[in-house]
Structure 1
Amino acid sequence: MRAHANGSAIPYLRLAWIAVAASVACYTARLMIMQRRQEASHTALRALEEKFHKAFKVSPVALAISRLANGCFLEVNDRWLEKFQSTREQLIGKTSIELGIWVDPNERMRFAEEIRKKGSVRDVPFNIRMAGKISSVLASGELIELDRAPVVITALLDVTELRNATQQLQQVQKMELVGQLAGGIAHDFNNLLTVIKGYAELSRNRDSHATMTGDVHEISKATDKAAALTKQLLAFSRRQVLQPRNITMNSMISGIEAMLRHMIPENIELVMVLAHDLGTVHADPSQMEYVLMNLVANASDAMPNGGTLRIATRNLDLTSAYPERDFEIPAGRYVILEVSDTGTGIAPEFLGRIFEPFFTTKEAGRGTGLGLSTVYGIVKQSGGYVWAHSEPDAGATFKICLPRIDQAADEVALQALATPSVLGGNETVLLVEDDSSVRELVTKILAQYAYRVVSAASGTEAIRLARQYESEIHLLLTDVIMPDGSGKDLAALLRDLRPRLKVLYISGYPHIPSAGVDTMDFREAFLAKPFAPADLAGRVRETLDQE
């Protein structure tokens, strides 16, 4: 027994029940605290799961959860559905192999094996099928356990556009490098051809023997053929001299329509669809004629069994940039020339190479591989764009896009200056040419036509001679590009010394904007290498006689 504070007794049994009740209360309190903690933990876990689910669902990266064993999809996010243009019902429960996602099913096995070994992989490049198209992706995977089974969280980053942009940049850079190489080769080769052709012509004029004359004639013909090839190389490299005018493509097409019809066999129908309100472009008409004839010839070759060849023109107004295969056309106003055929088409693996010099799909002996590269160079030098669309056995379409201008077309074609009847003279010519072989040849040619020649190997030497020479110098005959500057700059300096000085430019490598010669009026004062002695004498006389 135990006493109360007031002295009364308390039974031990009652004390025991009080102790039990207190213990139960404490245990109950602990349970309640633990339950509340668990509920809080479950609530936090549910909140975390909801956040994860939302993040998974709205992620800008395509995400999927699949079984490691067979690739069966358990869950995918909205971005994945968007990329594959599928519904969740179409994907869940099916494997990636069943859905035909992998271009090479063995790659899926290698991907799964890497994850099994390492637990995670990052940025593995694959080609897979997305919405019916083959796309380039970077795949990352993480191995986790779900319901005691290994599953993989896969993330796909579509890099198709980045890959295409990289390939486009590489293609443009390659074309630029090849163009620079082609232009440099053409320049040096033209100097050699000038010497060969010049001395051949001089030999023919001195020797009247029939056999010798015939041999020299063959040498001259060979140099002309070689010169034609270098001209095509210069066109591809965008370093040839253009004589642009304000023209309409319709007038140009109409002017050579009869010739075009003679170029194609009777089993090919030629269809013209020319816009009646076509705008004006600033381009060299003879070069545009070459472009069209080349495209027509290629289209004709692509239809050995006949078909339809269509030439069309139209205006095009772009309010925003227009992406094409290897480039992007800026917003602006353009004129489009299209040449299409119903022939054999171009294989996809060749389509990206058709404008490369010496690349041809024709059989040996049927083409040099310079036709389309020349077209490319002419169009690019004219400030335009050229591209092709084609599928095997479905024909091809080539499109030329040139900037449209607000000026009217020139009404009268520029007439070629007639070759003067008298080629010689007694004027003084200041010859500036850094190639010694060409310089010696030109000196001999001009001396043969009775001109007085003062020669210099550089612009610096030419200025010194011009200051020292006491008599009048009537003509500056200068190379366009020299080691110590351009012919244009030299002409400006010498005209300060001799205001009446006339100028004739010669070069095999004339059109280089960095040298400041792109704005020269070559129509009145230019002779391209290689040239024959009579051509040089005629151009010199012509320049001297101009007012």
Structure 2
Amino acid sequence: MGKSLYKLFPEVKGTKVEQTYIEALKTQQPQRIETEYQIGDKKLIFEINVYPSKDGLSVITKDITERKMFETQLLRAQRMESIGILAGGIAHNLNNMLTPIMLSLQMLKQKFKDEQSHKLLTILENNSQRSADLIKQVLSFSGGVEGERAPLEAKHLITEIEKVANETFPRNIEIRTDIPENLLTISGDVTQLHQVIMNLCVNARDAMPDGGILNISAENFFIDESYTRMHIEAKIGSYVIIAVSDTGIGIPHEILDRIFEPFFTTREFGKGTGLGLSTSLAIVKSHGGFINVYSEVGKGTKFSIYLPAIKTRTEIQNAQEQKLELLFGHGELVLIAEDEDSVRDVTVSTLEKNGYIALAAKDGADAVVLYAQNKDKVKVVLMDMMMPIMDGQASIRAIRKINYEVKIIAVSGLTEKDRLKNVADYTNSFLPKPYTAEILLKTIHEVLSAK
């Protein structure tokens, strides 16, 4: 451009980036640096390559935020695998030490019959058994305990857990279930999957000390290529999603990344082992699935368990007949308001590949500004409900003031339809996260076609 870097980027002074530029000029050698930039509430990571030239410096900057996000996911997965291997080794050794202790206790109880000895030996026996149960959990987390796989219906599993929850959970917690009739079959160990769902339900109960709504739902879900780009563990194919959501206190963003680590717990000492979620994740992974978590502090949390579906020939034929056709656009302008870079980029890419023109906003305030500038062109607004600066609810109301007739689709990974009552009169449809290309295009088509 022929302009001074300091005029273009005055904030570069005194930073590592400036030092990189100086080093490139001094050595006349190419330099590379990765640096973070804070834009509003978003942290972006850039790769900067500096090349000396006869006129000064050539600088190429690339946004690598999404790549770094995937690297973080891979490192987290590797860390969990390493911890699992270590935990498995320790657990096996502890089992070897516990076995003679528990056998000896049984013999000692037969030998010493007096009340005091019996009392002490019973305490030792109970604590030894608790230790054995804890080690079993560690082995489950590390993948050392394999269950028996068999075809099973998620409906029966959820119905059984609903019955247990209704009988044992506090009366101020309302239990709801939503199970369609045409659920695909999954393959799994019924005891292990029961443990996973029950553990999530107990966590949901504990997150609602003053009562609330616990919802257990299931649905068929086809993961396409678009979705696999947003989730590193997803594979293309048919899944059954079992979701457990609550209206509780939510999980703070700063610890959301750690909740699946073994022995991590926010409960008081002695009230939890910190192995519940790590064991649940290990069980789900051993079934070829994965878990998604979405949480809003003060509003609630939703755990979605993705389990691969198995299909009979009849189910495959029915699925093919019912498969949604991709509904192409005709150049309509869609405004996407989404603060998650990967979700926003994939959504934009999907729409543009299927006949739409996409306009992207990184937060609610940006969406309102962009809509005001393009109000005569935008045909539909895709609005995420949880964003920085201005959330979805406030943004929707602001856009409606500009044009009450505009069509708006509310998007959320947590909020169920019946919890959208605050914006129900301001929206035309609801799109739950995560969504596939087919569901996205179908929802937009239906909204645009509605009179």
Scaled to the shorter chain, the TM-score interval is 0.5 to 0.7
| CA deviation map 1:420-460 (0-9, x unaligned) | xxxxxxxxxxxxxxxxxxxxxxxxxxxxxxxxxxxxxxxxx
Between Structure 1 and Structure 2, whose CA radius of gyration is higher?
A: 1
Q: 1:199 to 1:165 in 2, by over 3 A?
A: same
Q: Using structure 1 for the length normalisation, give the TM-score.
A: 0.52
* Residue 84 (structure 2) pairs with residue 179 (structure 1): yes
Q: Which residue number in structure 2 is paired with residue 288 of structure 1?
A: 193
* Residue 223 (structure 2) pairs with residue 318 (structure 1): yes
Q: 1:215 to 1:122 in 2, by over 3 A?
A: same
Q: Is the 8 A contact 2:141 2:281 kept in 1?
A: yes
How many residue pairs match? The answer is 310
Q: Is the 8 A contact 1:317 1:332 kept in 2?
A: yes
Q: Is the 8 A contact 1:168 1:325 kept in 2?
A: no
| CA deviation map 1:60-108 (0-9, x unaligned) | xxxx76533333xxxxxxxxxxxxxxxxxxxxxxxx57xxxxxxx5777
- Partner Cα distance (1:312, 1:144) in 2: 61
- Which amino acid in the other structure matches residue 207 of structure 1? F
Where in structure 1 are there 5+ consecutive unaligned residues?
1-63, 72-95, 98-104, 409-547
* Residue 161 (structure 2) pairs with residue 256 (structure 1): yes
Q: Which residue number in structure 1 is paired with residue 289 of structure 2?
A: 384
Q: Is the 8 A contact 2:233 2:290 kept in 1?
A: no
Structure 1 residue 326 displacement after superposition: 6.7
Structure 1 residue 394 displacement after superposition: 3.7
Counterpart among 44, 52, 67 of residue 135 in structure 1: 44
Structure 1 residue 117 displacement after superposition: 6.7
| CA deviation map 1:441-480 (0-9, x unaligned) | xxxxxxxxxxxxxxxxxxxxxxxxxxxxxxxxxxxxxxxx
- Partner Cα distance (1:335, 1:167) in 2: 27
Q: Is the 8 A contact 2:214 2:244 kept in 1?
A: yes
- Partner Cα distance (2:71, 2:219) in 1: 31
Q: Which residue number in structure 2 is paired with residue 162 of structure 1?
A: 67
Q: Is the 8 A contact 2:149 2:188 kept in 1?
A: yes
- Partner Cα distance (1:324, 1:205) in 2: 62
Q: Which residue number in structure 2 is paired with residue 396 of structure 1?
A: 301
Structure 1 residue 178 displacement after superposition: 0.9
Moved more, 312-321 or 171-180: 312-321
Q: Is the 8 A contact 2:6 2:13 kept in 1?
A: no
* Residue 254 (structure 2) pairs with residue 349 (structure 1): yes
Q: Using structure 2 for the length normalisation, give the TM-score.
A: 0.62
Q: 1:349 to 1:207 in 2, by over 3 A?
A: same
Secondary structure of the equivalent of 1:387? strand
Q: Which residue number in structure 1 is paired with residue 279 of structure 2?
A: 374
Q: Is the 8 A contact 1:342 1:394 kept in 2?
A: yes
- Partner Cα distance (2:2, 2:285) in 1: 50
Counterpart among 131, 134, 142 of residue 237 in structure 1: 142
- Which amino acid in the other structure matches residue 218 of structure 1? I
Q: Is the 8 A contact 1:322 1:328 kept in 2?
A: no
- Which amino acid in the other structure matches residue 362 of structure 1? R
Structure 1 residue 328 displacement after superposition: 2.4
Q: 1:209 to 1:325 in 2, by over 3 A?
A: farther
Q: 1:365 to 1:281 in 2, by over 3 A?
A: same
Q: Is the 8 A contact 1:172 1:326 kept in 2?
A: no
| CA deviation map 1:155-212 (0-9, x unaligned) | 2122223212222221111111111111111111112111111111012123322322
Q: Is the 8 A contact 2:20 2:32 kept in 1?
A: no
Secondary structure of the equivalent of 1:340? strand
* Residue 4 (structure 2) pairs with residue 67 (structure 1): yes
- Partner Cα distance (2:104, 2:47) in 1: 64
Q: Which residue number in structure 2 is paired with residue 210 of structure 1?
A: 115
Secondary structure of the equivalent of 2:174? strand
Q: Which residue number in structure 2 is paired with residue 246 of structure 1?
A: 151
Q: Which residue number in structure 1 is paired with residue 133 of structure 2?
A: 228
Q: 1:308 to 1:152 in 2, by over 3 A?
A: farther
- Partner Cα distance (2:306, 2:82) in 1: 23
Q: Which residue number in structure 2 is paired with residue 520 of structure 1?
A: none
Root mean square deviation, CA, Å: 2.9
Q: Which residue number in structure 1 is paired with residue 346 of structure 2?
A: none
Structure 1 residue 140 displacement after superposition: 3.3
1:510-525 matches, cutoff 5 A = none
Q: Is the 8 A contact 2:151 2:188 kept in 1?
A: yes
- Which amino acid in the other structure matches residue 304 of structure 1? P
| CA deviation map 1:351-389 (0-9, x unaligned) | 222111001133434322111011112112222212312
Q: 1:188 to 1:117 in 2, by over 3 A?
A: closer
- Which amino acid in the other structure matches residue 115 of structure 1? Y
* Residue 97 (structure 2) pairs with residue 188 (structure 1): no
Where in structure 2 are there 5+ consecutive unaligned residues?
314-451
Q: Which residue number in structure 2 is paired with residue 477 of structure 1?
A: none
Q: Which residue number in structure 2 is paired with residue 111 of structure 1?
A: 17
* Residue 30 (structure 2) pairs with residue 124 (structure 1): no
- Partner Cα distance (2:264, 2:169) in 1: 23
Q: 1:65 to 1:201 in 2, by over 3 A?
A: farther
Q: 1:388 to 1:263 in 2, by over 3 A?
A: farther
- Which amino acid in the other structure matches residue 213 of structure 1? H
